[in-house]
């Protein structure tokens, strides 16, 4: 994900449309911009290839609007998580170019198409877990990953999951979202060879303790390769899944490069022998 502001700035300097003094003044805001109530990390996109994400819960609407306006000035595909419809309407006043994913409670500021690479499987145990699953799925998609959604395939009807084994086997990482006793993460972990990220949700009756039962179950999984994020943290799972998937995609590309070179050499030798 590119820093649109910085690229445009460099183009203006290179073309002579902006002098060095004006460019230096603009660059002073790059490390961070102090709004009084927030210090916006404009440099994060250069360090991590992803702009700073706005966590809306706990912030006032004016604060969210101010942060959103400044981030959108410098970046595209900015995520605002845990956003209500009211927050979306407020953001839209200062950044008209935005879209709201209601199920995921995510606003994407200045959304731009991103080519999805690799594959992340987002699996939910029940329909009640879909909001957290969608938070993971939308996050992963905006960050440039292909996402396969497998929803309502919990252990109470395990045949529903087994029907989608081929989809799971193709994934570079599986994000498993489950409440109640959280058993689905262990089941998926026992099926696949890729990393599994368990996301416990607060879905369940009283003894689930708001997701603690699912959290402890996933942490104690007997399946190898299962890691766990915090309760209801779909965003964290989507972000982590993105990092894992990008490593897998990069490794596959590096592996295929020598193979393509060998094919090219073989074709060259074949043409040479035909012409001799």
- The pLDDT of residue 42 is 79
Residue 225 or 3, more confident: 225
pLDDT in tens, 125-171: 999 999 999 999 999 999 999 999 999 999 999 999 998 899 999 99
Indicate whether 20 pLDDT > 70: yes
Phi, psi of 107 (to 5 degrees): -105, 135
Confidence of residue 32 (pLDDT cuts 50, 70, 90): confident
pLDDT in tens, 205-239: 999 999 999 999 999 999 998 999 999 999 999 99
Confidence of residue 3 (pLDDT cuts 50, 70, 90): low
- The pLDDT of residue 1 is 44
Of the candidates 177, 184, 180, 174, the one whose C-alpha atom is nearest the C-alpha of residue 154 is: 184
pLDDT in tens, 241-267: 999 999 999 888 888 766 655 655 555
- Residue environment code for 17-45, b if the CB has 16+ CB neighbours within 10 A, otherwise e: ebeeeeeeebeebbeebeeeebebbbebb
pTM exceeds 0.85 for this model: no
Domains present along the chain, CATH in parentheses = 4-109 (no CATH), 117-251 (3.40.50.1970)
Residue 55 or 11, more confident: 55
Q: What is the mean pLDDT of the chain?
A: 88
Say how many C-beta atoms besides its own lie within 10 A of residue 56's C-beta: 24
Distance, C-alpha 53 to centroid of its chain: 11
Residue 123 or 74, more confident: 123
- The pLDDT of residue 30 is 66
- The pLDDT of residue 85 is 95
- The pLDDT of residue 18 is 82
Indicate whether 11 pLDDT > 60: yes
pLDDT in tens, 97-133: 999 999 999 999 999 988 889 999 999 999 999 999 9
């Amino acid at each position: 994900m590119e820093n649109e502001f910085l690229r445009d700035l460099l183009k203006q300097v290179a073309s002579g449309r902006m002098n060095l003094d004006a460019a230096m003044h603009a660059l002073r805001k790059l490390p961070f911009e102090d709004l009084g109530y927030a210090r916006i990390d404009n440099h994060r996109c250069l360090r991590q290839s992803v702009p700073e994400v706005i966590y809306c819960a706990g912030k006032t609407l004016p604060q969210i609007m101010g942060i959103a306006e400044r981030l959108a000035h410098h970046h595209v595909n900015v995520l605002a998580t845990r956003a209500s419809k009211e927050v979306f309407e407020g953001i839209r006043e200062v950044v008209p170019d935005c879209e709201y994913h209601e199920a995921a409670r995510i606003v994407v500021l200045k959304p731009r198409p991103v080519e999805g690479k690799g594959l992340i499987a987002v699996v939910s145990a029940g329909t009640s877990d879909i909001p957290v699953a969608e938070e993971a799925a939308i996050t992963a998609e905006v960050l440039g990953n292909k996402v396969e959604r497998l929803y309502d395939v919990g252990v109470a009807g395990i045949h529903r999951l087994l029907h989608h084994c081929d989809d799971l086997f193709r994934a570079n990482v599986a994000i498993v979202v489950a409440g109640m006793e959280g058993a689905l993460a262990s089941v998926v972990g026992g099926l696949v060879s890729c990393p599994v990220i368990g996301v416990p949700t607060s879905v369940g009756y009283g003894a689930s303790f708001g997701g603690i039962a699912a959290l402890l179950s996933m942490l104690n999984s007997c399946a190898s390769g299962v890691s766990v994020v915090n309760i209801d943290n779909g965003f964290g799972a989507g972000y982590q899944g993105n990092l894992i998937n990008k490593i897998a995609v990069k490794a596959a590309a590096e592996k295929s490069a020598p193979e393509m070179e060998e094919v090219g050499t073989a074709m060259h030798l074949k043409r040479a022998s035909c012409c001799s």
